[in-house]
Amino acid sequence: MASQSIPGPSSIVESFKSAKALITEPCGALDALAAAHGPTTQVSIGPVRLVIIGDAAHVAELLAADSAAFRWGRVARTLTIVIGKTSMIVSDGDDHRRRRSLAQPAFAKRRLDSWASRIVDETDRLIEETMGTENQREVDLHDLHRKLIRRISVRVLFGDELRARADEIGECIEPAMQYAGQPALRQTPHPFPYTARARAKKARKDVDGLLDSIIAERRSTTAEHDSDSLVDALIHAEHEGHHLDDAEIRDQIITLIGAGYDTTSAVLSWTIARSALHETAWHTLRDEAQLHIDTAAATANLKLMPYATATVDEALRLHPAGPFSPREVVRDVTIGEYTIRKGSVIAYSPHLMGRDPRIWPNALDFEPVRFLSTNPDIETQRRTAWIPFGRGSRSCIGFALAQMQLTLVTARLAQRLDVTITNGRLPNPSGLIVTRPEGGLPATIRRFDAKQAPRLN
Ligand code: HEM
């Protein structure tokens, strides 16, 4: 079949408007482009072509295509001052395969299981620290979620010995993370001091110093099998006779923190906001958690918490961490009826797929029970159109950790707190790389004590 031209804005003025909107307000811009031209569209300005794939069948073809037709290094190159030149995110070809294969075993199920109790433990620590002796507080929940996910990330990366230094390590990394979260245009290289770029470079240098001492100390004292931490797993990783050198280990550590921290905390905020604003979700989460998370979290088991799992899946459907995931096309590829030309940037959009009304009934409603269905058609639908972590050779390496954190933290918060979202409405989305709640998530939180205040059904 002859290739068709990809629909999209036809005039240069419309293309500029769409490109600007995609940078400043990506979710709204994606919705507008899909409404006007369909879920798969192209925005071209001169030789620069951005192809957005939001149609589930097209995305399936894209993610099954030969990865040699794409390159990741250049689209993500502005991130290298933070994540480093050897990060798997900016690696291509054999380098990518080797680094990813070496990091992958660090996420083995045995290690994940050992983190469950730490996730609940950190959630409890944050609740106690925030509430103090009070029963009620006005807070920015998004700020608290960021702090919590940062602590959990540092703890699973570095192990319990460095728990006391989690805030110090997190704060050291923070300026670099803030910088990496900005639009690419604001990350244009320049040599000027006292700027966000200079602060990010300094932060990365400080973190390198810290990591060097941790790696040296770990090499001299810890055998891999003695520790559940990701750092130890990376230090001792071996794949087909290859190892990661110290620079590669440092870059993968920063990558894992960077890729996991903003994404997971943003999705956590959307999950909590949606559940607290829903008629029954918060209490259903609480009832389930009461049965399955004991105080020591020894029995925290996601399989026993289907409603919490469904709640997180539903939040990820409506609020995937990133509005799109881009790669550069290095040779012409065919997707459905379209030829995507070499030199284009192609990005699939979990945001558009998760809201496609042809696939999801009442697509914009938050309804966790849709993920509890045992209907095989719905299962298939979920497999094709629910894609917040991508799929294939570049899919999210930390997806199981992210899902575990989101599920356990959501369940534990529902078990221990009542949450009232200020103004009673969902915040607007903002952010190009990660979609965060604009202006944070102001809320009133109250301690919930099940013994004193039993809920009457
Ligand atoms: C809710 C949380 C998260 C979401 C929604 C998410 C989503 C994604 C997506 C969509 C990709 C890109 C896939 C592609 O380009 O096709 C990705 C890649 C990646 N993610 Fe995540 N992620 C999350 C949390 C995490 C966590 C916790 C970690 C690590 C601890 C992590 C580490 C990575 C890495 C290293 C990559 C690059 C993989 C590669 O290039 O091979 N992510 N993630």
Which of 396, 397, 401, 432 has most ligand 1 atoms within 8 Å of its beta carbon, as the pocket-test mutant? 396
Q: Which residue has the higher pLDDT, 192 or 82?
A: 82
Phi/psi at 14 (5° precision): -65, -40
Q: How confident is the model over 185-207, as pLDDT tens digits?
A: 566 667 777 787 888 888 888 88
8 Å CB contact between 27 and 63: no
Gap from CA of 451 to ligand 1 centroid (Å): 40
Residue closest via CA to ligand 1's atom 11 equals 396
| Burial readout 81-116 (b: 16 or more C-beta within 10 A, e: otherwise) | bbbbebbbbbbbeeebebbbebbeebbeeebbeebb
Q: State if residue 258 touches ligand 1 by the CB under 6 angstroms criterion.
A: no
Strand 48-53 relative to strand 345-348, pairing:
parallel
Q: State if residue 315 touches ligand 1 by the CB under 6 angstroms criterion.
A: no
Q: State if residue 154 touches ligand 1 by the CB under 6 angstroms criterion.
A: no
Q: How confident is the model over 35-70, as pLDDT tens digits?
A: 999 999 999 998 889 999 999 999 999 999 999 999
**Residue 340 token pair:** 């995507």
| Burial readout 291-303 (b: 16 or more C-beta within 10 A, e: otherwise) | ebbeeebeebebe
CATH number of 12-447: 1.10.3720.10, 1.10.580.10, 3.10.20.30, 1.10.630.10?
1.10.630.10
Q: State if residue 396 touches ligand 1 by the CB under 6 angstroms criterion.
A: yes
Q: What are the boundaries of each domain within the chain?
A: 12-447
Residue closest via CA to ligand 1's atom 26 equals 260
Q: How confident is the model over 286-329, as pLDDT tens digits?
A: 999 998 887 555 445 678 899 999 999 999 999 999 999 999 99
- Which of ligand 1's atoms lies nearest the C-alpha of 401? 27
